[in-house]
């Protein structure tokens, strides 16, 4: 996993990334059909309206590597939405097998995630520390770049997405789930503020967005291109938990699940998380969360019978301290290593 640091104005951050791509001789085959290109162009207009800074960052990359900006932005916006001709579009792929959750007990808030992907994407994953001008500082973890699957910002706000399959005829122009994560990390200070920013945001396809802050306020926003629903935390004794997988779990949203059961045992993973926290997670919340992600309490990352699919990273965030613990690979085989970059950056200013 690459550990990149980016700071300053957005265009220059894009230029820095583009120079890295050039030095590594990384190229991007932008193979899109008419539907994907049309979707991308219309979505870029919306992205620019809400988040012009990130468009300048994309422009910095495309200018540096000599790519057409419109095509490059369209390609990024089709990711995690309608990039179905995947074999021609390495390294981007829809993220279909992830589990994310947040748990609050005794004044402490812990977030956890398994990010599940085809293994050829593992070596290209990145954990990036951003310090943008006029925005929150944050760490984002991603199998792509500029956008991402999860992150935590300097205010102790965690944001994460999980992919929910969407029939193509239902997809609309708008933010894909990974750009939603980036937008909220950079703009919001709390769960309440993130919800207020997210609700009017056009979502391109079905997805779940988990939000949790250090105060213990946590929700999952179940998003479709037509509307969004806020799912509140479940109460377990004197604690609360939210969990999201690769389906909508509220009864009201069940009719919008288009995977037809092909969701990598989402219901089972959801049950393991909820029951794990109900029955097993007590004093040492971080260590027990690591065990949960390793599959010690039930099916979570054991994709041994799935061809070309595995957990490519696992994360645990402590939202108050901003400490991150990450296994860069299958958590049954890789140790969780402390990532203190955000903690140290903010701590130096106190």
**Residue 41 lies inside a defined structural domain of this protein:** yes
The CATH number of the domain holding residue 148 is: 3.60.60.10
**Residue 2 lies inside a defined structural domain of this protein:** no
Between 29-38, 102-111, 166-175, 339-348, the lowest mean confidence (pLDDT) is in 29-38
**Residue 1 lies inside a defined structural domain of this protein:** no
* Percentage of residues in the chain having pLDDT higher than 70: 96
Using one digit for the tens of pLDDT, what is the confidence trace for 254-286? 888 887 777 878 999 999 999 998 887 777 899
Within 10 angstroms of residue 197's Cβ, the number of other Cβ atoms is 15
What band does 96 get if pLDDT is binned at 50, 70 and 90? low
Using one digit for the tens of pLDDT, what is the confidence trace for 276-334? 988 877 778 999 999 999 999 999 999 898 878 899 999 999 999 999 999 999 999 99
**Residue 260 lies inside a defined structural domain of this protein:** yes
Predicted local confidence at residue 292, as pLDDT: 96
**Residue 104 lies inside a defined structural domain of this protein:** yes
Residue 89 pLDDT more than 70?
no
- State whether 54 and 115 are in the same domain: no
Quick one: average pLDDT of 59-73?
Answer: 97
Residue 145 pLDDT more than 50?
yes
**Residue 93 lies inside a defined structural domain of this protein:** no
- Beta-carbon contacts of 241 under 8 Å, excluding residues fewer than 6 positions away, are 101, 102, 103, 104, 218, 233, 234, 273, 274, 277
Predicted local confidence at residue 350, as pLDDT: 65
- State whether 43 and 182 are in the same domain: no
**Residue 271 lies inside a defined structural domain of this protein:** yes
- State whether 332 and 199 are in the same domain: yes
- State whether 73 and 183 are in the same domain: no
- State whether 258 and 335 are in the same domain: yes
- The mean pLDDT value of the chain amounts to 92
Last residue of a domain, one of 88, 108, 139: 88
Predicted structure pTM score:
0.95
Domain count, the chain: 2
Last residue of a domain, one of 88, 117, 132: 88
Using one digit for the tens of pLDDT, what is the confidence trace for 23-49? 999 888 788 889 999 999 999 999 999
Predicted local confidence at residue 93, as pLDDT: 46
Structural domain that includes position 14: 8-88
What band does 94 get if pLDDT is binned at 50, 70 and 90? low
- State whether 234 and 341 are in the same domain: yes
Last residue of a domain, one of 88, 121, 151: 88
- State whether 202 and 342 are in the same domain: yes
- State whether 19 and 121 are in the same domain: no
What own/partner pairs with CB < 8 Å and gap ≥ 24 does 261-269 have?
A: 262/165, 263/96, 263/97, 263/165, 264/96, 264/97, 264/116, 264/303, 264/306, 264/309, 265/299, 268/298, 268/299, 269/99, 269/245, 269/299, 269/300
- State whether 76 and 108 are in the same domain: no
Using one digit for the tens of pLDDT, what is the confidence trace for 208-255? 999 999 999 999 999 999 999 999 999 988 899 999 999 999 989 988
CB burial string 237-251: b at 16+ within 10 A, e below: eebbbbbbbbbbbee
Q: Give 133 or 281, the one with higher predicted confidence.
A: 133
Predicted local confidence at residue 118, as pLDDT: 82
Counting Cα atoms < 13 Å in the Cβ hemisphere of 32 gives 24
- State whether 266 and 144 are in the same domain: yes
- State whether 72 and 118 are in the same domain: no
Token duo for residue 167: 């029939």
Q: How far apart are CA 226 and CA 206, in angstroms?
A: 9
- State whether 263 and 325 are in the same domain: yes
Q: Give 261 or 86, the one with higher predicted confidence.
A: 261
**Residue 127 lies inside a defined structural domain of this protein:** yes
């Amino acid at each position: 996993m690459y550990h990149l640091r980016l700071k300053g104005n957005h265009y220059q951050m894009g230029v820095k990334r583009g120079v890295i791509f050039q030095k590594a001789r990384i190229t991007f085959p932008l193979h899109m059909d008419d539907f994907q290109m049309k979707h991308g162009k219309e979505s870029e207009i919306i992205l620019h309206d809400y988040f012009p800074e990130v468009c300048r960052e994309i422009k910095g990359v495309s200018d540096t590597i000599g790519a057409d900006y419109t095509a490059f932005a369209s390609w990024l916006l089709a990711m995690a939405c309608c990039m179905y001709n995947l074999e021609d579009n390495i390294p981007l792929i829809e993220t279909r097998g992830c589990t994310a959750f947040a748990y609050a007990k005794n004044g402490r808030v812990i977030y956890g995630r398994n990010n599940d992907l085809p293994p050829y994407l593992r070596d290209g994953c990145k954990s990036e520390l951003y310090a943008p001008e006029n925005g929150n500082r944050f760490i984002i973890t991603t199998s792509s770049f500029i956008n991402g699957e999860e992150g935590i910002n300097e205010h102790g706000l965690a944001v994460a997405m999980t992919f929910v399959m969407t029939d193509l005829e239902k997809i609309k122009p708008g933010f894909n789930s990974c750009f939603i994560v980036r937008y909220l990390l950079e703009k919001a200070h709390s769960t309440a503020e993130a919800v207020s920013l997210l609700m009017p945001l056009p979502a391109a396809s079905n997805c779940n967005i988990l939000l949790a802050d250090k105060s213990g306020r946590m929700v999952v926003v179940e998003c479709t291109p037509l509307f969004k629903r806020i799912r509140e935390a479940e109460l377990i004794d004197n604690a609360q938990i939210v969990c999201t997988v690769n389906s909508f779990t509220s009864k009201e949203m069940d009719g919008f699940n288009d995977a037809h059961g092909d969701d990598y045992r989402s219901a089972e993973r959801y049950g393991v998380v909820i029951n794990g926290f109900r029955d097993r997670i007590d004093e040492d919340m971080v260590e027990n969360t690591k065990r949960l992600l390793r599959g010690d309490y039930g099916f979570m990352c054991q994709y041994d019978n799935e061809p070309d699919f595995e957990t490519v990273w696992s994360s645990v965030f402590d939202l108050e301290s901003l400490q991150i613990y990450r296994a860069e690979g299958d958590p049954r085989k890789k140790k969780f290593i402390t990532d203190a970059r955000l903690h140290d950056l903010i701590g130096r200013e106190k």
